Amino acid sequence: MNIILLGPPGAGKGTQARILVEERGMIQLSTGDMLREAKDSGTEMGNKVADVMARGELVTDEIVIGLIREKLEANPTAGYIFDGFPRTLKQADALAELLEEQGQTLDHVVELRVNDDALVERITARSTCGSCGEVYNDLTKPIPADGKCSNCGGTEFKRRADDNAQALQKRLMEYYKQTSPLIGYYYAKGQHSRVDGLGEIGDVKAAIAAKLD
């Protein structure tokens, strides 16, 4: 089973993707993680990524699709979670072509719906483990009292420089402009479903499971 998690910054896509990885054995394909991994890999594709990033340029859709192709070919029987891709209609078309080329299907597109005020509250309270990327929130999932990550035991936590209200507004504008049209795109294909992302993590997990099962 291959799925896309859609939603604005702070909607909880990364958290729910990690749950799906742990509980269903799926593979999370996060654009940012793939680019960082490729940059340090020393492969031909990785060297392309490193060169582009060194010049301060945006990585092209073709390169990202190439990285996804490598992942699919390396483990063709796995189920994949696309997190952070596609972001545009052009990328959605490219992903559809790639999946068809690989003899795979896109089974579900789950949108996590969260209102803007709640997103601001979440984002400004968010921190991550510096070792494994586990996400914490001062309001809903604080860092454990012993100061150790519940996932890996790490003791260093960080906040993203753009996790502030002003930066979030810019990111939301970009999301609504470029990515929200994907909702209609996948709805027309009968692949889109929506869950309330405002609930507790376990409640959102259960809502997603109900859509997938």
Would you give the DSSP letter of residue 59? P
Q: pLDDT tens digits, residue range 131-163?
A: 998 889 888 889 999 999 999 999 999 988 778
pTM for the whole thing? 0.81
pLDDT score of 199: 86
Per-residue model confidence as pLDDT tens digits over 14-52: 889 999 999 999 999 988 888 888 888 888 888 888 888
Q: How far apart are CA 92 and CA 17, in angstroms?
A: 19
For this structure, is 113 an active site residue?
no
Where are the domains positioned within the chain?
2-26+79-210
Catalytic residue among 87, 113, 141, 194: 87
> What would the pLDDT profile of 75-119 be if each residue is shown by its tens digit?
999 999 998 899 999 999 999 999 999 999 999 999 999 998 888
CATH code at 2-26+79-210: 3.40.50.300
CA dist., res. 75 & res. 174, Å (int):
33
pLDDT value at residue 42:
82
Burial of residue 197 (number of CB atoms within 10 Å: 0-12, 13-18, 19+): buried
Of 160, 170, 177, 189, the active-site residue reads 160
User: For this structure, is 126 an active site residue?
Assistant: yes
160 included as an active-site residue: yes
Matching residue, tokens 């996790």: 163
DSSP 95-160: HHHHHHHTT----EEEEEE--HHHHHHHHHTEEEETTT--EEETTTBPPPTTS--TTT----EE--
